[in-house]
A and B are shown apart, each in its own frame.
Chain A
Amino acid sequence: MSKDYDVCVVGSGAGAGPIISELSKQGKSVLVLEKGPWLTEEDFTKDEMACCRRSTYTPKLEDEQHVLEEETMNGGWESEPTSESGWDFWNGNVVGGSSNFMSGYFYRIKPEDFRLLSEFGPIKGANVVDWPISYDDMEPYFTKVETAVGISGKIIPHKHQEPRSTKDFPYPPTSEHPIVERIDKACDELNITSLPTPRAILSRPANGRNSCEYSGYCGSYGCHSGAKGSARAALLDDAVATGNCEIRANSKVYKLKSDNKGQVVEALYYDMDDKPQSVSAKTFVVACHAIETSRLLLSSTGPKHPNGLGNNYSQLGKNLVFSAGGSGTGEFHYSEMDKLAASAMKTRGPFVNRGVQDWYFFDDKDFGGKTKGGVIDFLLRHPNPISKAMSTKWNDEDKLNWGKNLKRDLKTVFTESQDLRFEVFNDWLPTDNCFVNLDNSVKDKWGSAVAKVRLGYHEHDLKVGEFLSAKAENILKQMGAKNIRSSVSGSPPANLVAGGCRFGNDINTSVLDADCKVHDVDNLYVTDGSFMPTGGSVPYTWTIYANSFRVADILKSRV
């Protein structure tokens, strides 16, 4: 029986883009089903209401939501639908996915991250495993992302520098904010290596895309210039130009139908008018966000998969991970600078682009010796004015702030200091208390069960996060910052999520094989962050892109 397409891809973000691009360039017919609308550079403006105050790029929670389970004081679990709590767990449901709205801090994970169990040994209560592939298997694809997606940066040798097959990045670093000099000086004085942070942002025009326009509003915003390396700007437009790729926006896949042999035969979806549709393909690739991928497979029961596609060994949805760590702030008061320095400090546009990896691994007796640490990144407080103003809405006595006091506080927050923030990224250890399931009592607007996510974390994550936070606070202190504070907690960042379909060689402990094919389905692959058994101590996007290029190479000879 003939199929409608060679490949049907569910989702269009960082995990889907390389598959779509590589296979359509090879001449395969590729259909992309994306739940969200197809917005372009023309649609993206610096509008805080659109980006951050209303559900513009994500569903309204009344229509589509999650149910989140958190641990109670007495060790039980309490669940609450996000339409009630307001805790929005969506990232970016548009063509190109949340890569449209990322800040683009791009880090490779390191060789040791592929073998965390062998390198650092087991941790009680954590399901740490080695990956079924090595850094060497992934290196060519990390390199490929640097040119295909576009990464700007500069290599400075340091003790935890991962091996590279090329000397440096294809694009020089983006312009830097004057505060960088202060960070470098303080790190120098403390004998810490301050490193330029690679960014998935073009510092010069390339491949039909413009260079960064340095508007100063990057993270959370769609990119107007096309410089940000979203899957849409970097990969999908070219894929469509081959004539082999069709992107159906506003198409929500709700089930993958499998036959008596256990193979996927059709994707069932609702079109833009909410009418049910179906499409057949030889091969199916799912990459629609870690939580939603697990949800779709759990919902896709069939004759050989009574508990969901690829769930015959009860691994589906398990070992979900986030990025652990926290963040902090220090203030630099203009009143303590001369006019020139204050004016430089107020600069809006260029990036901070500084991070520290000195403690990616460290040896400390409080941790029992050799330990996996993480990364510290510096950034300016987000310039979003409404969000900044909202920080003055309540006073210290938990009363609403209004009138003269409010106006005084607003003036202070906006005009008296530049705030430098840091973010700490460390491993969120996979545990039995962090996973995706279905909640059959809460449905989305189409009547499908929503994902229920248990959000347990490991105490070790906080310990490492606090260790790194203290180091970052020291740097702020050395810089002369005032009012330094930080926060490390087990509250997960919804925009940094992976796992749920981890890959491995053993069908009893993983969902995917080393090629990211579902173990007991011949024609189903998962290529978003779901495949990751552990996350590394960095944002995931570069690894997700690289792995998708790796799987694309495998698929080229199989489809």
Chain B
Amino acid sequence: MTTKLINRRQFIQLIAVASTSWPAINLAKTNSSNQTLGRQADLVYKDLSDPWLSIAEVQEHLFPADDVSPGAKDISALRFLRNMLEAPDSDTEEKEFIIKGVGWLNDLSIKNNKRKFIKLNTDEKEKVLRQIEGSRAGSRWLSLMMTYLLEALLSDPVYGGNKDQKGWQWLEHIPGFPTPTTDQVYFKLGQHANGTTRRRTKS
């Protein structure tokens, strides 16, 4: 099995050479919610603007719904991605890279088809994405998209993906118990443990 890892040094170089001419993205305007992990899947797809509009479209192409299985929107893959990118310990360089990639995607899409990615038909989308995959940075960007998609499909719903356990149900997966509460998500465990309540020392 090929893992196609690139190391961090190369990753940072990739970000550095990426174009800076993409539209400025104001995260604060895009209805971000780093407080709630829960059940806002319906809202996250409402009134979308870029970069999230394009990302949602890419996710649905990479993981399309059909008659018997859920697609990216059904599992709320965008909610999951946004929660992860806004988590307290998230990698800011990775987030920057993902958002920059959207500009790149649309640049290529306009160059090839004179339309942004969301306006392309399925074949055109496939062609653009496979073309992107041919470059190192593009492959890395798509690889990240896929990783977040698979995590969204099969992580505990507390993280915002796997809506109504649709991923688990489709793949007949039996989860373990107990499952995490919103206070037990991975980025809160450390914080909790650092609190004075857990210093059960005699002094």
Q: Which residues of A contact B (CB under 8 A)?
A: 37-40, 43, 45-50, 53-56, 60, 80, 83-86, 94, 213, 215-217, 221, 224, 240, 243, 245-250, 272, 348, 383, 385-386, 389-391, 393-394, 398-404, 406-407, 410-411, 414-415
The number of A-B residue pairs with CB atoms under 8 Å apart is: 161
Query: B192 contacts the other chain (Cβ, under 8 Å)?
Result: yes
Most buried by A among B63, B126, B151: B151
Other-chain residue from B3, B7, B178 in contact with A46 (beta carbon distance below 8 A): B178
A390→B199 CA distance, assembly (Å): 38
Q: Which of chain B's residues have a CB closer than 8 A to the CB of A415?
A: 171-172
Closest 8 CB pairs of A and B: A46-B176, A37-B193, A217-B176, A50-B186, A414-B171, A385-B154, A402-B62, A215-B176
Question: Which residues of chain B have C-beta atoms less than 8 A from A250's C-beta?
Answer: 193-194
Tell which of A40, A53, A245 has the most Cβ of chain B within 10 Å. A53
Q: Of A39, A46, A393, which contacts B146 at CB under 8 A?
A: A393
| Given A60-B89, A85-B7, A407-B63, A386 and B154 contact (CB-CB distance below 8 Å) | yes
Chain B positions within 8 Å of A411 at CB level: 69, 171
Q: Are B189 and A50 in contact (CB under 8 A)?
A: yes
Name B171's contact: one of A46, A56, A385 (CB within 8 Å): A385
CB-CB under 8 A from A94, the residues of chain B are 193
Which residues of B sit under 8 angstroms from A393, Cβ to Cβ? 143, 146-147, 150
Q: How large is the interface on B (under 10, 10 to 19, 20 to 34, 35 or more residues)?
A: 35 or more
In the complex, the answer to whether B200 meets A215 with C-beta atoms within 8 Å is: no
Output the nearest chain A residue to B191 by Cβ-Cβ distance.
Answer: A37
CB-based contact B190/A391 at 8 Å: no
Interface on B for A, CB 8 Å cutoff? 1-5, 7-9, 61-64, 66, 69, 89, 126, 129, 133, 139, 142-143, 146-147, 150-151, 153-156, 158-159, 167-168, 171-181, 184-187, 189-190, 192-194, 198-203
User: Is A49's CB under 8 angstroms from B159's CB?
Assistant: yes
Chain A nearest Cβ from B94, distance in angstroms: 12
Smallest Cβ-Cβ distance to A390: which chain B residue: B150
Q: How far is it, in angstroms, between the C-alpha of A85 and the C-alpha of B9 when the chains are bound?
A: 9
Which A residue's beta carbon lies closest to that of B168?
A385
Measured CB to CB, the nearest residue on chain B to A272 is B194
Contact partner, B89, options A39, A54, A383, Cβ 8 Å = A54
How close is A34's CB to chain B, nearest CB, in angstroms?
11
The residues of A that contact B155 with a CB separation of less than 8 Å are 47-49, 53, 386
- Say whether A56 contacts B192, CB under 8 Å: no
CB distance from B90 to the nearest CB of A (A): 10
Residue of B nearest to A388 (CB): B154
Beta-carbon contact of A414 and B7 below 8 Å:
no
Judge whether A49 and B174 touch: CB under 8 Å: no
- In the complex, the answer to whether A213 meets B177 with C-beta atoms within 8 Å is yes
- Chain B residue with minimal CB distance to A244? B202
Given A393-B150, A399-B133, 7 new contacts (CB under 8 A): A38-B200, A39-B193, A43-B192, A50-B184, A240-B200, A394-B4, A402-B129
B174 engages A216 (CB within 8 Å)? yes
Chain B residues lying within 8 Å of A406, measured Cβ to Cβ, are 62-63
B65 to chain A, nearest CB (A): 10
Chain A positions within 8 Å of B173 at CB level? 383, 385, 414
Chain A residues within 8 Å of B64, by CB:
403-404, 407
Chain B's nearest CB lies how many Å from the CB of A153? 24
A86 touches which of B5, B158, B184, B194 (Cβ 8 Å): B5
Closest to A29 in B: B202
The residue in chain A whose Cβ has the minimal distance to the Cβ of B142 is A400
Q: Would you call A84 and B9 a contact (CB within 8 A)?
A: yes
User: Is the beta-carbon distance between B198 and A38 smaller than 8 angstroms?
Assistant: yes
Q: What is the chain A residue whose CB lies nearest that of B9? A: A84
Complex Cα distance, B83 from A485, in Å, reads: 38
Let me know if A56 and B184 touch, CB within 8 A.
no
A30→B98 CA distance, assembly (Å): 50
Asked whether, in the complex, the Cβ of A43 is within 8 Å of the Cβ of B184, the reply is: yes
Bound: A429/B158 CA distance, A: 46
Of B176, B181, B194, the residue contacting A383 (CB under 8 A) is B176
User: Known contacts being A385-B154, A389-B153, is A86 close to B8, with CB within 8 Å?
Assistant: yes
